[in-house]
Structure 1
Amino acid sequence: MSETWTFVCAAGELLPGEMRPVFDEVTGTPILVFNLDGDLYALEDRCSHEDFELSSGAFDPAEASVECVLHGARFDVRDGRALCAPAYSAVPKFPVRLEQGGIWTRDDRG
């Protein structure tokens, strides 16, 4: 678990409907941050089915989902739950905060 917050980008650089990958240097965790209609969410940038980066896939703001390009597994960006096969396990969700004009996240798993 990291107590250190990782800077993602300036608040104005992640617009609604966009996603941005970042790397938590403390824990070595790839994180993907989403702007869903102004609400920010962060998931581990790793498909629970095949250990492939979700950032290569498509973010669908209308469905609040991200799709893995490898086999088509989809995940809810709000809570990380798997929405369809071949993935059955959720991907970890991380906290996101807006502070000092920037977007920050961290791997908070204990």
Structure 2
Amino acid sequence: MQIDKIRGEQLDRLFKAVLELDDLEECYQFFDDLCTMSEVQSLAQRFDVAHKLRLKKTYDSIQQETGASTATISRIRRCVDYGSGGYNLMLDRLYPELKNNQPKK
């Protein structure tokens, strides 16, 4: 799995910190300090693209709605279809009604 390549103490500390956040306001505070506005917007855009892919939207409509490039959409499509499962895990939890839209492996 590609995720094993990024494992390490620094990331463990970061992810443990994220798991300690209690609510949306704490997330805003933490990510405001941790990331630039551009980095946070990029992360949000990627997750939005993954959500729209699960909604079976076309690349053109996703590009228009999110501003993501077709290369970004394609990369996220590969992650949704063949990645570590992180996008699908979160999308299933946040939007259980979309579980049937999950790609078949």
Q: Do Structure 1 and Structure 2 share a fold, with TM-score over 0.5? A: no
Structure number with greater CO (CA < 8 Å, separation at least 6) is 1
Of Structure 1 and Structure 2, the greater helix share is in 2
Normalised to the residue count of structure 2, the TM-score between the two structures is 0.23
- Structure number with bigger Rg: 2
